[in-house]
């Protein structure tokens, strides 16, 4: 890896900030120079341990001498922080989602265009080794032209763990509609095939009163979301995400000359193999009908293999640093980032209307995005009011009293809480 100028980064959110310290960021040409969070005591400890400047005030943080800001604050609060960072002259890498409302998406796109700065969505899943291998195969024409795909991100959690990372009734993990967290399922499909969603239809598996584990929380969103997309090349894609049992991440790509997918063998550690299938009568000579193998990363295999998110974080950080150095927008730029957020928003709107298809606007087109500049439709309890949606298709679900009692028991024990329950992110 050729050493280039160092990109000085400030991170919002101690959880992600600590990950930047712990990972091999120096090898990527990234230096963590500042952290911002509301947990003052822990910030003091980090400053003493690592000598990183720390801030509890975001505006003061933005005055720090740095090139870029990484946003690892709460899922539903990224766009306003990103816009302020861009206005302060900082490049931005934002964790998912890019925005919580369509209006925020429009404002974010406009600010990136105005500033001329780099914006990247921090989406790690496309850069896992098996997804990079499927992109390589697709680019080589191994399965022909994309016709149908699937992306799944299933992440069931125990009540104890869920409560430990979701302190407070209105923590975003306790109310976020199940279609919104769709980027882990969608981004790999987009990256592998180079296609973009044009139409979205949403379906929801409703809140499950019979789920004994969920009944020990204050979660009030539904069980799972299924999204059907029409892509810009006419292909169909099915996404599935959230609370179903049998957690994992899977991608399936059907071309008109073959199939490729990652495997479902042996739990989480069996997802890292690629399966390629081509019919006997059209496969290349000397190539087996079916191949199943574990690919390495195409480059930096040793370093990436030690990184988190199955190595995806290494490449995500590398791509962002290179984009800042070159001034060139990365693949997951503001347009694709906001489009993925819009898919989650519009899918929920579709589910609430009985599964009616909704066009996804082209955020590169001012005329199309302008139609949404005043669209503040949001399930966020802080935005509650006339015309705003409930977190569940069943309406405003009331979690069991026992769930509230157990959640409060976990929240009351600081040792039980992830990041002490005070961190911006998580």
**238 prior amide bond cis, ω within 30:** no
Dihedral sign from CA coordinates of 103, 109, 114, 119: positive
Position 97 in a domain: yes
* Contact assessment for residue 252 and residue 150, using Cβ atoms and an 8 Å cutoff: yes
Bridge-partner residues for 229, per DSSP? 200, 237
Residues 98 and 152 in one domain: no
Range of the domain at 238: 126-298+335-383
Confidence of residue 237 (pLDDT cuts 50, 70, 90): very high
Residues 176 and 67 in one domain: no
User: How much is the pLDDT for 300?
Assistant: 83
User: How much is the pLDDT for 229?
Assistant: 99
Average pLDDT over residues 13-25: 77
Residues 186 and 236 in one domain: yes
Dihedral sign from CA coordinates of 337, 152, 13, 93: negative
**Residue 131: closest CA among 191, 55, 72, 176:** 191
135-185 pLDDT tens trace: 999 999 999 999 999 999 999 999 999 999 999 999 999 999 999 999 999
Residues 39 and 184 in one domain: no
Confidence of residue 24 (pLDDT cuts 50, 70, 90): low
Position 412 in a domain: no
User: Taking the model in full, what pTM does it have?
Assistant: 0.95
Residues 46 and 108 in one domain: yes
User: How much is the pLDDT for 165?
Assistant: 92
User: How much is the pLDDT for 416?
Assistant: 63
DSSP state of 310: T
Helices (H) and strands (E) counted in the chain, each on its own, are 13, 15
Distance CA 217, CA 243 (A): 13
Question: Could you tell me the strand order of the sheet in which 7-12 lies?
Answer: 53-55, 30-36, 7-12, 68-71, 91-95, 119-122
> Which residues lie closer than 8 Å to 332 by C-beta, 6 or more apart?
120, 121, 123, 126, 187, 191
**Higher pLDDT pick, 373 / 243:** 373
Single residue among 383, 403, 419 that ends a domain in this structure: 383
Average pLDDT over residues 33-56: 92
Residues 362 and 213 in one domain: yes
User: In the chain, how many domains are there?
Assistant: 2
What secondary structure does DSSP assign to 192-212, as a single string? HH---EEEEEEEEE---TT-T
Residues 86 and 148 in one domain: no
Residues 233 and 370 in one domain: yes
Confidence of residue 371 (pLDDT cuts 50, 70, 90): very high
Residue 83 has pLDDT above 60, yes or no: yes
Residue 344 has pLDDT above 80, yes or no: yes
Residue 378 has pLDDT above 80, yes or no: yes
Confidence of residue 267 (pLDDT cuts 50, 70, 90): low
CATH of the domain at 373: 3.30.360.10
| Mean pLDDT across the chain | 93
Distance CA 405, CA 149 (A): 42
Average pLDDT over residues 86-104: 97
Residues 148 and 92 in one domain: no
Average pLDDT over residues 100-115: 98
Position 309 in a domain: no
């Amino acid at each position: 890896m050729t050493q280039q100028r160092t990109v000085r980064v400030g991170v919002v959110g101690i959880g992600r900030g600590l990950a930047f310290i712990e990972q091999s960021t120096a090898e990527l040409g990234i230096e963590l120079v500042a952290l911002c969070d509301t947990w003052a005591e822990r910030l003091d400890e980090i400053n003493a341990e690592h000598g990183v400047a720390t801030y509890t005030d975001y505006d003061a943080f933005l005055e720090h001498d740095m090139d870029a800001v990484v946003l690892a604050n709460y899922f539903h609060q990224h766009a306003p922080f990103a816009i302020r960072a861009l206005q302060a002259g900082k490049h931005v890498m934002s964790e998912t989602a890019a925005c919580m409302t369509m209006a925020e998406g429009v404002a974010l796109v406009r600010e990136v265009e105005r500033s001329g700065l780099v914006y990247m969505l921090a989406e790690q899943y496309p850069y896992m080794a098996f997804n990079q291998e499927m992109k390589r195969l697709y680019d080589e024409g191994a399965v022909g032209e994309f016709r149908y795909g699937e992306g799944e991100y299933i992440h069931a959690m125990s009540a104890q763990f869920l409560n430990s990372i979701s302190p407070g009734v209105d923590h975003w993990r306790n109310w976020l509609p199940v279609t919104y967290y769709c980027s882990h399922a969608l981004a790999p499909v987009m990256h592998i095939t180079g296609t973009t969603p044009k139409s979205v239809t949403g379906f929801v598996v409703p809140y499950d009163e019979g789920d004994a584990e969920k009944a020990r929380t204050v979660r009030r969103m539904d069980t799972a979301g299924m999204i059907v997309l029409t892509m810009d090349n006419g292909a169909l894609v099915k996404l599935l995400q959230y609370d179903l049992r049998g957690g994992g991440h899977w991608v399936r790509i059907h071309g008109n000359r073959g199939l490729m997918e990652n495997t479902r063998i042996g739990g989480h550690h069996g997802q890292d193999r690629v399966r390629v299938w081509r019919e006997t009568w059209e496969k290349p000579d000397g190539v087996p009908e079916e191949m199943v193998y574990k690919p390495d990363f195409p480059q930096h295999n040793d370093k990436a293999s030690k990184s988190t998110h199955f190595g995806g974080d290494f490449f995500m950080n590398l791509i962002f640093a290179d984009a800042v150095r070159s001034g060139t927008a990365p693949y997951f730029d503001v347009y694709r980032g906001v489009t993925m957020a819009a898919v989650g928003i519009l899918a929920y709107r579709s589910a609430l209307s009985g599964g009616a298809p909704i066009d996804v606007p082209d955020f590169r087109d001012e005329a199309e995005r302008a139609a949404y500049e005043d669209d503040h439709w949001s399930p966020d309890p802080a935005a509650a009011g006339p015309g705003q949606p409930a977190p569940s298709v069943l309406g405003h679900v009331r979690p069991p009293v026992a769930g509230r009692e157990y959640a409060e028991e976990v929240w009351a024990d600081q040792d039980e809480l992830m990041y002490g329950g005070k961190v911006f992110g998580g």
